[in-house]
Structure 1
Amino acid sequence: MSKPKGRHAKVRKDKGMARKLSEILESLAQLIRAIGVLVDALSKWFG
């Protein structure tokens, strides 16, 4: 089998990019949630 050329190769690459982007967004959301929990705990601690 030959390597995919033209459109199909680009589509496959874009899907990979989209998956990478969604992974980054997901980890970013988890980070924000963790920071929120930490800030909440600290405000209770000092409040």
Structure 2
Amino acid sequence: AMKNASDNAADLSQELTVDYNKSRQAAITRELAEITAGTEALA
């Protein structure tokens, strides 16, 4: 039973890490797009 609980916790932790990284990557991509658009507007 403890092994199942431990495995489930590890799986959940992995899923949360993936979700966090995806949202972080989306935010970075959005910022880069804004910077690129700003640079093009100045050119």
Which TM-score bucket, shorter chain as reference? 0.7 to 0.9
The answer for the alignment partner of 2:40 in structure 1 is 40
Greater fraction helix: 2
Q: Distance in 1 between matches of 2:11 and 2:42?
A: 46
Gapped runs of 5+ residues in structure 2? none
Gapped runs of 5+ residues in structure 1? none
Aligned residues: 40
Q: Distance in 2 between matches of 1:6 and 1:20?
A: 21
RMSD: 1.1
Choose 1 or 2 for highest CA Rg. 1
* TM-score, structure 2 as length reference: 0.85
Question: What do the CA deviations read for 1:1-47 (whole angstroms, capped 9, x no partner)?
Answer: xxx7211110001100100000000000000000000000011xxxx
